[in-house]
A = this chain, B = another copy of it.
């Protein structure tokens, strides 16, 4: 990223975006006018001139922006305008823009390009960045792009691609600067001065032995504050935080958060340095996790493009919709089994959704707490026992209290003491179900190697609905009819 690119303040960015959208919309209108007035060649020429001028204006505007801002603008444009804007991004900047763009829009943009076009665009990027982009492409297309790269790039990209998706290896940066233990700081300073630039987010040099094994790190701070005559090994940090290529990204994120790291070396199983990870990648990882959490809870796994074709989005939602329908059907059959009692006491039909709803609501609160506990790694066996007993206490307190409130409301409406008692008891029992399900559903998903967030809210509601109806109607069948 050159320093001359404009980094826009939030308010200015919004302005710039609106301007660009405005220009693009006007262009579309002009084009329409041109095509309508095809007979009239004079108007045609004028309109074309205006359009070309606006085009040039837009292209220049986009060229001045930071790639991240261009990405942001592309993400917020509807598909037709987005494609027009993409055409105006200068070819040599396209790779940098693609790196900043979200998955769904990335796929939409690359979907229309031929392998050799994609290869030409990504060629200017670092090999780890190329690998990152390729993982977003369909396997076949990704291979076709790969074979069109330079031989050296190919090898490096392949090596990055060989690491599992959620491993530190897959997100590391291959670019690092290393020095030897026995060098003097003076020599290191000279070495640096011969470089044109340093790898981004560099705050430390990696100290390796001849075999490439990690010996320590030399922070730029230590380098600047110490006397130049001293040797690297006297001022370096000999026990830095480092990661293995196979470590989980989540663990690296936790370490960066806790120890306020800027960058850290990545080593292979022989403790040879193979790369480093930097805080900007960590920030991206946290952000991705944060953005997708509430989506996953309602069963949306794919990062959905706000403007993906509606049919595609509709299909995306089918699996969990089908599951929801199935579980709702089960709940409906539970009620069906008690139809005889409902006919005798129709008030039951009106009251039963309340029991289900209050269970769903409190159960989802428990789910949210458990998911957070799991994400923070705070639920060991001891804590789990504590949490279980606490959620049951809360369910007992709230079930008794709000069950009574609901009982009194029922009494006021239907003037039947037994009915009031049954609904109060049903609320308490269903809150116990909600507490148990709220803790167990995310834990069970995790135990079976699934994402504890994915669809947890759908599953919880299924539990509390069916059980809520069952408890209430069964109690009614026993005590009321």
Complex: how many Å from CA A379 to CA B260?
33
**A38 in the interface, Cβ–Cβ < 8 Å?**
no
Residue of B nearest to A282 (CB): B283
**Chain B residues whose CB sits within 8 angstroms of the CB of A46 once the complex forms:** none
Among B321, B331, B352, B357, the residue within 8 A (CB) of A398 is: B321
Interface centre among A197, A291, A367, A375 (most CB of B within 10 A): A291
Given contacts A203-B203, A286-B286, A286-B287, 15 further A-B contacts (CB under 8 A): A100-B258, A193-B225, A203-B262, A220-B221, A257-B283, A262-B262, A293-B294, A295-B369, A298-B367, A306-B386, A317-B398, A327-B357, A331-B353, A335-B349, A360-B461
A92 at interface by CB-CB < 8 Å: no
- A179 to B348 Cα, complex, angstroms: 77
* 8 Å CB interface, A309-348 against B: 310-311, 313-314, 317-318, 320-322, 324-325, 327-329, 331-333, 335-336, 339, 342-343, 346-348
Contact pattern, A 30-65, Cβ under 8 Å of B = 1, otherwise 0: 000000000000000000000000000000000000
A351 within 8 A of B: yes
Total interface residues on A, CB under 8 Å, equals: 138
Q: Complex: how many Å from CA A339 to CA B357?
A: 20
A393 adjacent to B310 (CB under 8 Å): yes
Q: Is B328 a contact partner of A394 (Cβ separation < 8 A)?
A: no
What's the Cα separation between A335 and B413 when bound, in Å? 13
Cβ contacts A278-298/B at 8 Å (1 or 0 each): 011011101101110111011
Copies in the complex: 2
Q: Do residues A350 and B371 form an inter-chain contact, with CB atoms below 8 A? A: no
Chain B residue with Cβ nearest A221: B198
A162 close to B (CB within 8 Å): no
- Report whether B378 and A76 are in contact in the complex, using a CB–CB cutoff of 8 Å: yes
CA gap between A237 and B7 in the complex, in Å = 12
Mark contacts of A353-396 with chain B using CB atoms, 8 A cut-off: 1 yes-contact digit, 0 otherwise: 11011101110110111011101111010110011001001100
Given contacts A258-B72, A324-B358, contact A306 B378 (CB under 8 A): yes
Q: How far is the CA of A121 from the CA of B458 in the complex (A)?
A: 46
Task: List B contacts of A247 (CB < 8 A).
Answer: 10
